[in-house]
Each structure stands twice: as structure tokens, then as C-alpha cells.
Chains A and B, each alone.
Chain A
Amino acid sequence: MLNRRSILGAAGAVLLTIGALAGALAEEKSIIVQSTTSTANSGLFDHLLPLFQQKTGIRVDVVAVGTGQAIKNAANGDGDVLFVHAKADEEKFVAEGNGVERFDVMYNDFVVVGPKADPAGIAGSRDAAAALAKVAAAGAPFVSRGDDSGTHKAELKLWKAAGVDVKAASGGWYRETGSGMGQTLNIAAGMSGYALTDRATWAAFQNKGELTIVVEGDTKLLNQYGIILVNPVKFPRVKAEAGKAFVDWVISDEGQKAIADFKVSGEQVFFPNAKKAGG
């Protein structure tokens, strides 16, 4: 009896603690940003968010998922700010009334990585579409996100430009992982395949194995990030004020400089290009 009582007591205490914690957290001003694995895994948010919190006292909680899922979550009103990289989808998001206004924030670029052995012979190429066509022709393994993320969409666009029907090759040399960028790179490293990745994730990735950058520098490989305040008219629970403060800060001179200052292994990986200056 004593034991049961003490176990129940302990469990009760745990619940109370959580309640108290939740209460304490609720006291603090905080917003939820739906964003992508590339921004989170590269460490950009770890660099930006403390600066923002120091200035405004607002804590930013980042949910890092694929761009597709991030947009979906935000379209359900689950989040205050959307910070992703799939311009067409972002504009559609705003057009459907889910977001207030879209702002360009920064860009980085995609790179094609592949095994040092380079079975498709594309290393050093500056034409991404032509390189991918060669990969297809060689039947060399290519590992795709396959998860409707921004990177996945960019990749599909390149295949289209290359005139390759990857659907037909799916399961053959074309492997869709349905996972995040890091998982996909893990798998590419494991099977010595080619993959498209954003430079930031690649720079921070630690399990490169035999992989190296084979194609970079094509203007088609530019990767534009945008930021949108979720529409508080449509979703009354959106913390409009704090969310807007974050959007404004990110595209302000101060925020833009912070982005430029962020480096992975001494290398700048995101290039700020917000059009609207101000704060």
C-alpha cells in the first residue's frame, strides 16, 4: 500500500511540475516558427534567436520540418511565423489568405554532392541540369528527399529541365527517401549516391563519408528563403504582435547583418537579400 501511494505521489508531483513548467513558459512571451530542417540543422537559428530574444524578450520556438509540412502546419494555424524556401508555394499560401505578406529574407544555394569516384563523370560541372542528365544516363544512384520539401521541389525542377522522368526510375537508380535533408545525406553517404542539398546543411553535416561537392555555381541552384506572418485575421490565436516583431527584425538591417555574420566552419552560408529595409 505504502508503495502504491508513494508511486502515485511521485507521479502526481511529476504532473504538478509539468503544470508549473508549462505555466512558467506561458508567462514568457514566445512564438512558434514553422521552418525547415536546413535552417535549423545548419545552426542558423541557434545564432539568430538569442540575439532577437535579447533585444525583444520574445522566445522563438522553432518547429523544423520539411517545407511542405511546415506550410501545411501553418495553414492549420499551428504557428505564428512561416520561414521556408519554396517561393511559389509561399505565394500561394499568402494568396489563400493563410499569411499576411511574404518577404524575401536570404538565399543560399544548392549543390549536387556525390561520391569522389564520380561514376557519372560530372565533377566540376556548372550546369546542374546537364549534370543530372548524365547521372540518369549512367544510371548512377541518386538519392532524393522525396518529401515535398523545398529542396525536393527544386530538385524536381532541375530534373524537368534535364528532361528526365524520375518517376519511371523510382526504385531503380532514383531513390526517394521520404526523409529530411540529413537523413537523405546519411543514405547517400551509405550507398555512394548523388544528392541535391542546400549548402548550409552540407557545411554542417558531419557524416559526409565519401561524398563531396560535384556541381555548384549554377544560377538555377539558387535557393530563396521567405518569411511570412501567419494571418491573425484567419487564425485569431496567432500572436500577431510578437510574430510581426520577429518578421520585421529578420528583414531589418540588424537581422540581415546577423544572417550575414553566421558562419559554418568559417564559411558564410546564407546571403541576406531582404528588399524592405527598416525595422
Chain B
Amino acid sequence: MPTANATVAFFLIDTMQDFTLAFVLAGQLLIGLDPTLMGIVGLSLAVTGSALLVACLIGFPVGALIGFRQFRGRSFVIVCLNALMGLPPVVVGLLVYMMLSNAGPLGFLQLLYTPSAMIVAQAVLITPIVAALSRQVVETLAREYADTFRTLVVPWPTALLALLRDGRSGLATVALAGFGRAIAEVGAVIIVGGNIAHVTRVMTTSIALETSKGDLALALALGFVLLLIALAVNATVAALSLATREAGHG
């Protein structure tokens, strides 16, 4: 898309004052605790947090199982899983839309254009990421533990739990990767959520909306806020893992 690139370059030269304005706006929005913005931020965190919880509950054990169990077609499964990490959000959005649409098989759940639909879409998007990355974390650890667990005759469910527990710092990073991808995603949630004001409007869909209104400064300001949120979440997790390490469980 040379056209789009040229456009972006043009904006950068032409709208330096927008950039400055965006900083000021972001500051005002945050300091003023703008209620609309707070609602949007809250929904973003709730939706992505729930999607991440679902993705971890599924992705951790699935990734761990693939990481340490031997079975036929394992390499094939790993290749597929790794490929699914590149799933385009728009495709996920479309698939979830087609499932949840009133014309679709799960229409009776009446989830379309609700936060739940957005949770489903984001969970579908990041579960393969969480599974594939935790597979790598667990596989490394499992290789190290393999002989020990075998000689100790550890039943596989116990081994699975032990690997998940001992790989927790690596898995925390995996969860953060999933969180980052989900909260920054716009293509899927805008299709299944509909970007309805006060109902399904999150950070990224707001940014898309303000951009389409031509209010680039406000869009960028929201972008800064999103960046700050991501920073805060990462810092919190880093502090937590540091705390556990110092408590002697690292």
C-alpha cells in the first residue's frame, strides 16, 4: 500500500501541531478523569482481561500438553498452532460474527453487539498465541525435567501442573504478549461489537472512529492513553513477578 504510506508520511509532516495537541489532550483527558474515557478504558480492560483469562485457561494447559507429551502428528499440530498466531483479527471478527449472527448457528445466544461477543473474538484471537508460546516455555522446562519426572514416576496430570507452576515467570510473559495483542486489536471487536457508544466502544474502536472523523489529535491522544495502560499493566506484572522472586519462589 504505497498510497497509505505516502499518506501517513504526509500527515507526519503536515500535522506536527496535531502531535503536540495530542499530548496536551491526552494529559487533559487523564487528569480530568473524563468519564466517557474512563468508561471506555474500563470496558477495554474488562473485555481484554476476560478474553485473556479464557485464553490462559485454555491456552496454558493445551500448550503445556503439546509441549511435554509425545503423540503422533505433534509436529503438525505445532506448525498449525504457530501459523494460527498470525490469524488476522478481521478474519477472526468475521468468523465470530458469522457464528453469533442471528443467521448463524449461535445466534440464539444473542451475544452479537455485546461485550461478550468482543470477549469471544479476542479470546479466539489470542488463545493460539498463548498456547503456542506456552508450548515453547513448557517444552524447554519439560526437557530439563523429563528424566527426573520419569524416574520419580510422576503421573502426567501432576507433571502438567508442576510444569505450569514452575514455568510461571515465562508464562506471565506469554500472558502479557496475549494481552498486548488483544487490547491493541481493532479489526475483530469493531465487527462483532459494532463500536456502539457506551456499550461496545473500546479504546481501539474509539481511535478508529476519531480517525474517521478526521479528529487526528484526539485519536492520537487516545493512542497515548492506550500506550499508558499497556505500560501500567506490564509494570504491574513485572512488579508482581519481582515480588514473588524475592519471596523465594522465583
User: Which residues of A approach B to under 8 Å, CB–CB?
Assistant: 3-4, 8, 10-12, 14-15, 17-18, 21-22, 25, 32, 37, 41, 61-64, 73, 75-78, 175, 179-183, 185-187, 189-191, 204-209, 235, 237
Contact = CB atoms under 8 A, between A and B. Distances in A.
Interface of B: 3-4, 6-8, 10-11, 14, 45-47, 49-50, 52-53, 101-104, 107, 110, 112-116, 119, 168, 194-197, 199, 209, 211-216, 240, 243-244
Contacts of A22: 114-116
* SS class, residues of chain A in contact with chain B: helix
Given A63-B195, A182-B213, A191-B10, 20 more contacts: A3-B244, A14-B53, A21-B115, A22-B114, A32-B196, A41-B213, A61-B196, A64-B195, A73-B101, A76-B104, A78-B103, A179-B212, A182-B212, A185-B214, A186-B7, A187-B3, A191-B7, A205-B213, A206-B214, A207-B214
B107 A25 contact: no
Contacts of B214: 182, 185-186, 189, 205-208
B95 to A, nearest CB: 14
B212 A61 contact: no
A190 B7 contact: yes
* SS class, residues of chain B in contact with chain A: helix
Contacts, number: 111
Nearest to A202: B214
Which 8 residue pairs across A and B have the least CB separation, nearest first? A182-B212, A207-B214, A77-B102, A190-B7, A63-B194, A76-B103, A11-B53, A206-B214
A77 B216 contact: no
Contacts of B115: 18, 21-22
B215 A14 contact: no
29 contacts: A3-B240, A3-B244, A4-B168, A11-B49, A11-B52, A18-B46, A18-B47, A21-B115, A22-B116, A25-B114, A25-B199, A41-B209, A61-B194, A61-B197, A61-B199, A63-B194, A63-B195, A63-B196, A77-B107, A179-B212, A182-B214, A186-B216, A187-B7, A190-B11, A191-B6, A191-B10, A204-B213, A207-B214, A207-B216
B3 A175 contact: yes
Contacts of A37: 212
